[in-house]
Amino acid sequence: MMMTPQQLLQILPDAGRQAGVFVPALNIAMHAYDVITPSRMAAFIAQVGHESGQLRWLKELWGPTAQQARYEGRTDLGNSVVGDGFKFRGRGLIQVTGRANYAACGEALGLDLLGHPQLLEQPRWACESAAWFWQSNGLNELADKNQFTTITRRINGGLNGLEDRLQLWARAKAVLCVS
């Protein structure tokens, strides 16, 4: 199943013209990482839609907020060098965060993300990184079982924005005819 720009706009109406820019890259990435059933696609689009502000933000907005300031020195993210928190802030449609995640993602995609983290701000790599993260974290299987809150926790570490994610998921299921 391939998604159309019209379907993406029905799910993410705030995406505007970005929908047309992202649909080809999304379709390629979803196909490459087995996000190909309507239920998987609905959960994936809802999650990346929330994480990216409906395709408007490919880089985490930086304050730094109190939470962002805590990225510095977080060993669970691999942030071992001063400045890693800012340099490896969330990027891509699923907001890959931290030196360790950038290294793993870069290795999987064949990119030097440690040297060029901004590559995840390009539509192709924003989509590829999101689909890679999705598959790497077993989210296809969770989508098959409708375990949307568990998916949210794996992506976000908590349930931030759950209401918006659920609204996007409901819209995606309706548009993609998921029963």
What is the pLDDT at residue 81? Answer: 96
Residues 72 and 41 in one domain: no
Q: Give residue 42's domain range.
A: 5-57+123-175
> Are 88 and 53 in the same domain?
no
Predicted confidence (pLDDT) per residue in 72-113, tens digit:
999 999 999 999 999 999 999 999 999 999 999 999 999 999
Preceding omega of 64 cis (within 30 degrees of 0): yes
Q: Are 60 and 97 in contact (CB under 8 A)?
A: yes
CATH label of the domain that carries residue 83: 3.30.20
How many domains would you assign to the chain? 2
Banded pLDDT at 179 (limits 50, 70, 90): confident
The answer on 47 and 10 residing in a single domain is yes
Task: List Cβ neighbours of 88 (8 Å cut-off, separation of 6 or more).
Answer: 71, 77, 79, 97, 98, 99, 101, 102, 117
Same domain, 131 and 170: yes
